[in-house]
Amino acid sequence: MREIEYVPRESSKQENRSKWTFASLLVVIFVLIVTIGILLIYVICSQPYPYCTSTKCIERAFAIKSSMDQNYDPCDNFYKFVCNNFEYSNYGNQNPMEEFSNFRKTTYRLNDMIQRMIQMPIKKKDTHPIRMIKKFYAACSDKDEREKLGLSVMDKYLTQANLPRIPTIFTLPEQNWDNYTFNWVKTSVMMKKIFGIDLFFKTVVSNDSVTFLIVPDESKIPM
């Protein structure tokens, strides 16, 4: 019986070569992707952190830094470490009895921003309340118009509140003082209704999580 020699087909060799080529290509692509990823991470991490260098950022950084006291260990007394120099750095030249806090500083800053905002001319994009506030402020700041109107506006509201231009106590003869009566409750109500201010005392509605309380408080008449 004659032995038959097996000769690999040329097509099988080509198929194996194609498989190895495809696998090698995948490995190369994978290595390229990993290399690019590593390079990107290195570039991103090697870039300096984008610090804020605007005027506002520098001012806030200085305020925080000047309030700190590095003589204290933050692990022992973190409050002293962060805030111990706050009073000196912000209110060193002011009345030491005056209340001070970062909230008060923020309030002053916000009041200044609001004042500058209402002093600006009316813009097309301003909302109706902003327009009214600017008009009101402009009317109050118009010195010529105030001098032109004189006391006529005040007289109008005093008449509405049934109050004299000059307090009666200054115009009433001394011999009539004992017979003079003054209804302070009615006057307080009228002042609240017309001018929106508290004359002698004010009431504050407070919620103590159980009941609502009306608490009398000291009046602060705007000057």
Q: Where are the domains of the chain?
A: 150-169+182-223
pLDDT in tens, 65-110: 888 888 999 899 998 888 888 777 655 445 544 556 667 777 888 8
Give the pTM: 0.38
Q: Which residues contact 187 (CB under 8 A, 6 or more apart)?
A: 161, 163, 199
The chain-wide mean pLDDT, for the chain, equals 76
Higher confidence at residue 47 or residue 121? 121
Residue 113: HSE in the Cβ half-sphere, 13 Å Cα cutoff: 6
Phi, psi values for residue 142, rounded to 5°: -80, 95
Task: Give the per-residue pLDDT at 223.
Answer: 47
How many angstroms separate the CA atoms of 12 and 18, rounded?
Answer: 10
Task: Give the per-residue pLDDT at 145.
Answer: 80
Q: Exposure of 208 by Cβ count < 10 A (0-12 exposed, 13-18 middle, 19+ buried)?
A: exposed
Least confident of 34-38, 98-102, 143-147, 171-175: 98-102
Q: pLDDT tier at 149 (50, 70, 90 boundaries)?
A: confident
Task: Give the per-residue pLDDT at 206.
Answer: 61
Task: Give the per-residue pLDDT at 42.
Answer: 77
Higher confidence at residue 210 or residue 72? 72
